[in-house]
Structures are given as C-alpha cells and as structure tokens.
Amino acid sequence: MNAQNETAKSASGKLGADLLLDSLYDGGARICFANPGTTELGLVSALARDGRLRCVLSLFEGVCTGAADGYARVSGEVPLTLLHLGPGFANGIANLHNARRAGSRIVNLIGDHATWHLAYDAPLTSDIHSLAQPVSREVIYLGKPEAITDGVSQAFAATNEAEGGAATLIFPTDVVDAPAPADFKPVELAAYQPAPVSDDVVQSAAAVLAEPGETIILLGGNALDEEGIQAGASLAAALGGRLLMEPYPAIVTLGGDLPMVERQAYFPDDVIAQMGDARVVLAGARMPISYFGYEGWPSQLVPEDRLVRLAEPGQDAVAALRALVDQLGGSPAPEPAPTPPASSPEPAAALTAASIVEELLVQLPEDAVISLEGSSMGGPWLKNAHRAPRHRVMTNTGGAIGQGLPCAVGAALAQPDARIISLQSDGSAQYTLQALWTMAREGLKITVIIAANHRYAILQTELSRADVPLDDAVVANLTKLDHPKVDWVALAQGYGVEAVRATTNGELASALRHGLTLDGPLLIQAELP
C-alpha cells in the first residue's frame, strides 16, 4: 500500500478493500481459496489486516475453484475464490462449470486493472464479464467504493437463485484502494431455501401414480440426503417401484442403514433398458438424457408422457416426496435387506478396481466423504456403496475433468474431523495435481487412491463401442498414458505428500490402513491392468 492510500485510510478509517471484506464476512463467508496477483494485492493487504477469513493458497486457479466447489457441497456454506484478472479466472472456469451443475454457492473475487488504466489495453486486460457470465448466476462490477455493499448483497442473493450457483465480483484496484464511504448500507442476506412445490403439483402426481403401472423414483439435488432417500424409499415401497439416483450427484448420502439407491446408467442404450416402460418420477433430478449425442439413439431417454415432474432442481424435493407419500397413504421406508459383510480380497492377488472397492468397504470409516472422479472406480463404488458404513459421495457433475483432487481439498476443510477418500483416475488427476501441494501444506486428512491403468479408459470404452480398433497406432497414441508411465509416488512426494505404490490386494490393504491413521494426506498409486 502506498503512502497516499495509507493517509486516505487513516482519514476515513477504512479502505474499500476493508469494506469489501467486512461485507463478505457479514454475508457468511469464512474461507477464501486464493491464487492472487498484482491487481489483488490491495485485498491481500486487507486480508492480513482483517484476519477473520481462512486463506488457502493453491498453485493453480482450477484447484481454487474445485476446492471451493467441494467446500460448498459438504458444508452448505458460501466460500470465496480470489483470482487474478481474466486469464487467472479462465484457468478456473472448468471447475466452476462443474460447480454450476452441482448448484454450489460460491462468490468469486477477481481483481481488475484500475479504472483509469483500462483504456491502455495492458497485456492482462480482457473481457472478464464475458468469461465469467457462463459460470455465474450474476457478474457484478464494483465500479466505485459506494457500490461495494450493494454489490456484495447482490452477489449473495444471486447464489440463492434456483438450485444455487456462483456469483462473481470484479473489483478494480483503485476502488479497493480508495477510502471507504462513511455511510453505506449493510449487507442484506437471506438464507438459502429451496422453493416449495405447490399442492396442485403433488396432487397431480398422486393422480397419475394412482393408476397401475411400473414406477421409478429418480432422486437428484437436495433429495439425495438422508431424509430425501428415506422419503423416496417410502414412495417406492408404496408404489411397488424402484429407487434410483441421478448419474452424477453433487453429493449423496449412502450406506449404513439407508435404503439402497440404484444409479442411473451412463450409455443411452443402458438407460433405456434400465428404465423399461416405467413411469419416472423426477424428484429434484433432471430428466434422463444421453450424456453425448449418439446416432440412432434419442437425446431424451424417457418419453415425456412417462415423466412425472414432481420437483425441479432447486425445489424442495424432500417435502414434495413426503407430501406425495401422504397423498398415496404410504408408510415409512422398509428396512433394507441385509447384505453380506465385506471381506478383504486375497492378499497376494493382483489389484483390480473391484478388489480396491472391496477393501475400501472393509476399512471405510463412518461418516467419511468420498470425492469420486473417473470411470475405473466410480461405477464399482456406487454399485456397492450400500454395503459401506454411512458416508457421502461427491461426483463430477459437469464432466469437466480435474475436479476430484480439488473437491477433496474443499471437503477436508469443510469437515476437518472426517476422513476424506479421493477415488481418482490417473488421466483426470493430471489436470489439477497441484492440489497435492495444498493437501500437504494444510495437513489435510485425505487418502488418495489413484487408479493407475495408464490410459484414458473412458475414451477407450467409447471407441470400442464405435468399433474403432484400440491397437491402431494413432488411437493408441491418443488414449494410452504408458510411454512413459507416470510415477505418481514421485510426483506426490515432490509436492510433500507421503506416497506408496500398491500392486496386490495385500499391499493396498496395508497402505490404506496406514493412510486412514494419518493426520495428513497419503497417496496410494494402485496399479491396475
């Protein structure tokens, strides 16, 4: 801070940066995931003076935004990101895309050039608004100190829209370095509440479902907590139907004594077979669609006349499910059928995705949080999660890879007493491996299991379905990661994370037992075929 600004601060008591932080704190922000640059240094100085917000440094902006997403999903609170101009923000957009699909409530802070400097088109000048708009509920430019508190109120209000989402505040350096106004409006904050479902919608659904026919209850959004799953299971029992969840939930509670929830399939032909001719009740979930467009297959996988739209994303799906159960004269969800206890696989046998899942079922602590990214272990875990102790799972909601490791960081900071398990494929982990450094620096209780099959497995699956030969030289060159093989143990150790390699079930079991006792992170490179 220069002498002129220090004099200004002394005269008025606070600078714009101090007022901005006061307003954000009053709005409920308690943590900031940061990778600041020169245009953010005024706010960094204010963070040092203020001392109330926890500041978490990341080496890459995509880690900041992914960690904020994980924090929001696990805590339900609104974290901050602090990013450097348009290019820095652009580095974090992929994980903000995932956060948007998850409904994660985040406030992004982006410094901009001084208002009097913008006209000179300096090298880092860009159209920040256009970059931020697609992944933000609202983009707000704080063009003068008097706009700060209203802008912060507007940002928090925007995160409450529909199912939630991010808002972005852009602040020029001269605005946060200027004296704060003596008179300003306090931050206006309304707690987030999902929109109610009308009685007419519930009664209409009850009338449709009173007719005989096979029924599927498809849960999504806020219906995937314990109460929503119990209510969905009650409805399924009343109708003699099946209980499913959307394929990529933001966060879902599973295991323990909760009813089993089947996951919606991925490929369109599998979804169509899974749904059959059933009516599908949408409770917080979007209608089943094909992840990509495939020739010969429809994009909408359940015809409109078989959809019962009970609660849209952002509406109170739990209350709607309960009201519908009452309308149909249902009763509490039945006790789930007992499942055989998990047992450790043969120690000397080579690792497989199935054996990793089986060992994790044996060792998973109660109330753990799993950050899941990748097809290698994702499908196998969600198929067996009902056999595990009670836990929560976060998945890749938007399909932009590089989410898993940062989300684990955010989850560990949101719930520091819980053990966080990152089930991570090796290809997608490369996008945000800098998250390992933050895990080490913050001493986070995260156990990372890398499915090291040294290939882009999902791409090979897609190519095989299209009858493209995987042994073709060009195809192999674009889908295999084995020349050279990545040494995840060395990478993790370079970032300060303890790491081991496991090739057999026994080695994995031993490494997992060790990792679950640590007060910091451990990475296990699980070698898979």
Shared domain check, 365 and 416: yes
Shared domain check, 316 and 207: yes
Which one, of 87, 85, 88, 93, lies nearest residue 66 by Cα?
A: 93
Domain edge (last residue) among 176, 211, 235 = 176
pLDDT of 12: 52
Cα atoms found within 13 Å of the Cα of residue 512, Cβ hemisphere only:
27
Cα atoms found within 13 Å of the Cα of residue 478, Cβ hemisphere only:
11
Mean pLDDT value across residues 172-182: 96
Q: Yes or no: say if 303 and 310 are a contact pair by the CB < 8 Å rule.
A: no
Torsion of CA 204, 207, 213, 215, to 10 degrees: 40
Q: Yes or no: say if 190 and 131 are a contact pair by the CB < 8 Å rule.
A: no
Residues 201 and 209: their CA atoms lie apart, in Å, by 12
Shared domain check, 492 and 361: yes
Which one, of 72, 109, 115, lies nearest residue 88 by Cα?
A: 109
pLDDT of 43: 97
Residues 309 and 321: their CA atoms lie apart, in Å, by 11
pLDDT of 7: 40
Shared domain check, 111 and 19: yes
Q: Tokens for 169?
A: 């505040």
Establish if 450 belongs to a structural domain.
Answer: yes
Q: What are phi and psi of 38, to 5 degrees?
A: -60, -40
pLDDT band at 13 (very low <50, low <70, confident <90, very high): confident
Tell me which of 7-21, 94-108, 215-229, 489-503 is least confident: 7-21
Shared domain check, 477 and 408: yes
Residues 511 and 521: their CA atoms lie apart, in Å, by 12
Establish if 342 belongs to a structural domain.
Answer: no
Establish if 335 belongs to a structural domain.
Answer: no
Residues 268 and 287: their CA atoms lie apart, in Å, by 13
Owner of token pair 């031993």:
510
Q: Tokens for 331?
A: 């009763």
Establish if 338 belongs to a structural domain.
Answer: no
Query: What single-letter amino acid sits at 310?
Result: L
pLDDT of 418: 97
Helices 16-26/148-159 angle, 10° precision: 30
CA 118 from centre of chain? 35
Establish if 223 belongs to a structural domain.
Answer: yes
Helix then strand then coil, in percent of the chain rounded to 5, is 45, 20, 35
pLDDT of 422: 98
pLDDT at 68 over 50: yes
From first CA to last CA, the distance across the chain in angstroms is 56
Shared domain check, 375 and 519: yes
pTM (2 decimals)?
0.95
pLDDT of 6: 44
Looking at residue 243, which CATH number applies to its domain?
A: 3.40.50.1220
pLDDT of 200: 98
| Residue range 386-444, pLDDT digits in tens | 999 999 999 999 999 999 999 999 999 999 999 999 999 999 999 999 999 999 999 99
Shared domain check, 360 and 322: no
DSSP three-state, residue 347: coil
Q: Whole domain around residue 429: which residue ranges?
A: 353-527
Looking at residue 405, which CATH number applies to its domain?
A: 3.40.50.970
Establish if 258 belongs to a structural domain.
Answer: yes
Q: Where do runs of H (alpha helix) occur along 192-266?
A: 199-209, 226-239
Q: Yes or no: say if 53 and 21 are a contact pair by the CB < 8 Å rule.
A: yes
Mean pLDDT value across residues 187-216: 94
pLDDT of 150: 95
CA 195 from centre of chain? 22
Average pLDDT of the chain? 95
Which residues, in sequence order, are bridge partners of residue 504? 350
Q: Yes or no: say if 109 and 43 are a contact pair by the CB < 8 Å rule.
A: yes
Mean pLDDT value across residues 82-99: 98
Cβ burial, residue 172 (10 Å; 0-12/13-18/19+) = buried
Q: Yes or no: say if 106 and 77 are a contact pair by the CB < 8 Å rule.
A: no
Tell me which of 10-24, 101-115, 224-238, 303-317 is least confident: 10-24
For the chain, the domain total comes to 3
What would you measure as the largest C-alpha separation in the chain, in angstroms? 78
Shared domain check, 499 and 357: yes
Inter-CA distances, 312 with 106, 287, 320, Å? 21, 10, 10
pLDDT at 4 over 50: no
Strand order in the sheet with 262-263: 262-263, 242-245, 215-219, 279-283, 307-311
Which residues, in sequence order, are bridge partners of residue 302? none
| Residue range 300-356, pLDDT digits in tens | 999 999 999 999 999 999 999 999 999 998 777 778 778 888 999 999 999 999 999
Establish if 52 belongs to a structural domain.
Answer: yes
Q: Yes or no: say if 79 and 29 are a contact pair by the CB < 8 Å rule.
A: yes
Shared domain check, 293 and 231: yes
Shared domain check, 286 and 241: yes
Shared domain check, 228 and 137: no
Shared domain check, 211 and 125: no
Mean pLDDT value across residues 155-159: 97
Query: What single-letter amino acid sits at 329?
Result: G
pLDDT at 368 over 90: yes
Is the peptide bond between 521 and the residue preceding it cis, with omega within 30 degrees of 0?
A: no
pLDDT of 410: 98
Kind of pairing, strands 368-373 and 391-394?
parallel
Establish if 317 belongs to a structural domain.
Answer: yes
| Residue range 244-294, pLDDT digits in tens | 999 999 999 999 999 999 999 999 999 999 999 999 999 999 999 999 999
Kind of pairing, strands 252-254 and 391-394?
antiparallel
Q: Tokens for 150?
A: 């209203």
Residues 33 and 82: their CA atoms lie apart, in Å, by 6
